[in-house]
């Protein structure tokens, strides 16, 4: 079985400040890792993914994440946030060879203030 824990339910931050959203996972099998973003009243949009290779993954909108296998973490970072980054962010895992199903964390609400 797999589980995903997002350690912060809400993260308030000022515009142009750096931000890190934390994600830890538990799995008995190898997994792929994803971050999705959800803007108000919209569906989820893929930010970035880790499938294999370099553990530092770059995504859209200036976000990046680092896969740490020993710590089973996949934290999301951005060096300088904008008001438009205000949204809910979801970390997810997808077990190998299980058809691509996603198991999501509870989400982190990022609130960027001017």
List interacting residues with another protein (CB under 8 A).
32, 34, 36, 42-46, 49, 51-52, 90, 94, 96-107
- Distance in Å, CB of 58 to another protein, minimum: 15
Q: Smaller CB distance to another protein: residue 100 or 114? A: 100
- Distance in Å, CB of 69 to another protein, minimum: 17
Closest-CA residue to 104 (of 45, 94, 96, 65): 94
Q: Smaller CB distance to another protein: residue 92 or 112? A: 92
Sign of the alpha-carbon torsion through 66, 70, 71, 73:
positive
Gap between the Cα atoms of 110 and 113, Å rounded:
10
Q: Which residues pair with 22 in a beta bridge?
A: none
- Distance in Å, CB of 30 to another protein, minimum: 11
């Amino acid at each position: 079985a797999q589980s995903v824990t997002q350690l912060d339910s809400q993260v308030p931050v000022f515009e142009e400040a750096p931000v890190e959203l934390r994600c830890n996972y538990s799995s008995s099998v190898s997994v792929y890792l994803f971050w999705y973003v959800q803007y108000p009243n919209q569906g989820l949009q893929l930010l970035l993914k880790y499938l294999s290779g370099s553990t530092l993954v770059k995504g859209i909108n200036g976000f990046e994440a680092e896969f740490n296998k020993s710590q089973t973490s996949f934290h999301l970072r951005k060096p300088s946030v904008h008001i438009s980054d205000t949204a809910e962010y979801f970390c997810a895992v997808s077990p190998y060879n299980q058809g691509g199903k996603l198991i999501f964390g509870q989400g982190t609400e990022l609130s960027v203030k001017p």
